[in-house]
Amino acid sequence: MAHVHAKKKLFFRRGFYLNIMTPEEARGRAQSQLFVIETTYGITIVNREEVISTIIDKTLDDQRILTICTALNSWVAMNAGMSPEVAIPLDVVSSLLEQVLRL
């Protein structure tokens, strides 16, 4: 059975190429990044789906998703404490998105 792969959409903006994924690919990328955070800290992000939706509503670029999730990793490291369940405030996600989208 042959597999059909959608071509990645590359856009050149401000000196950088943006690798635009489909919404499903972007969701998968964000899910996997958040899973790594959960595994690393032994936590559950209780509002994971809301965080993912907030991210992919603003960008489908794989590098930007990675950058935002890296920043979220730092936020979790500094704010999670000893709780096994963490809710990442969506205003934190939105603020990080604004900063990353300006790059």
- Residue 56's contacts (CB-CB under 8 Å, 6 or more residues apart) are 23, 26, 27, 30, 65
Distance of CA 41 to the CA centre of its chain: 17
Tell me which DSSP letter residue 21 carries.
Answer: P
Give the per-residue pLDDT at 19: 82
Pure H helices in 6-89: 23-41, 48-58, 62-79
Quote the pLDDT of residue 22: 94
Residue 72 near residue 90 (C-beta atoms within 8 A): no
pLDDT, tens digit, 9 for 90 and up, residues 66-81 = 999 999 999 999 998 8
The list of the chain residues with pLDDT below 50 reads 1-7
What domains sit in the chain, N to C, each tagged with a CATH number? 23-101 (1.10.8)
